[in-house]
Amino acid sequence: MNTLFRRTKASIIFLGVAMTLLGLAFFINPVDSILFVVYCCAWAFLFAGIGTLVGYFRHDPADRGAANIVLAILEIVCAVYIFFFPGWSTVALCIFLGCVIFVTGIWDVADALSFRKVEGSNWGLWLVLGIITIVLGFLTLFAPFMMAEAIMIVAGISLVFDGITEIVLGVRM
């Protein structure tokens, strides 16, 4: 049990250091970081497509569905598109992130309103942060070119904060 605990503690500290370094890279050089994330998405699509294709041919012919082959081709086409058009892919990624941020803000506002009746819950702060999140999501949706760099800076700050939190948690274990 002691060995497992030490490995877990080391893993948490390692994760924290990795998150902090990635966050610093995002914060220091947001433009190149955007392309890094876009190309990571392309590689993920490519490997997913290859994996889906291999899985399709490894199954018994009676169990093969046409949807799997279509999915594999779609994933590979998305990867190729991202590799050839990283600029447009960056815009698509920013619009997707804008949707996620916008929906997260709506959930945060709903959570804040549900915490309104709980004594000492700081629901007002959560409400303000939720509204700010909604505004940022809206801006990201409708101005993806301007917000792409800002997203990476905010992501960098968030990763640094989360990384430091993980390091402190791991050290305190």
- The tens digit of pLDDT for each residue in 52-62 reads 999 888 877 76
Beta carbons of 40 and 90 less than 8 angstroms apart: no
Percentage of the residues of the chain whose pLDDT score is greater than 70 = 96
- The tens digit of pLDDT for each residue in 139-165 reads 888 887 777 788 788 888 888 888 888
What pLDDT, on the 0 to 100 scale, is given for residue 62? 66
What pLDDT, on the 0 to 100 scale, is given for residue 55? 86
Tokens in use for 136? 């940022």
SS3 content of the chain, % helix, strand, coil (to 5): 90, 0, 10
- What is the Cα–Cα distance from 139 to 144, expressed in whole angstroms? 8
* C-alpha pair distances (Å), 36 with each of 32, 46, 106, 131: 6, 15, 29, 30
Mean pLDDT score across all residues of the chain: 86
How large is the average pLDDT for residues 131-138?
88
**pTM, full prediction:** 0.65
Q: Is the pLDDT of residue 17 over 60?
A: yes
Q: Is the pLDDT of residue 4 over 80?
A: no
What pLDDT, on the 0 to 100 scale, is given for residue 63? 66
What pLDDT, on the 0 to 100 scale, is given for residue 1? 53
What pLDDT, on the 0 to 100 scale, is given for residue 138? 87
What pLDDT, on the 0 to 100 scale, is given for residue 8? 82
- The tens digit of pLDDT for each residue in 97-118 reads 888 888 988 998 988 888 887 7
Of residues 163 and 5, more confidence is placed in 163
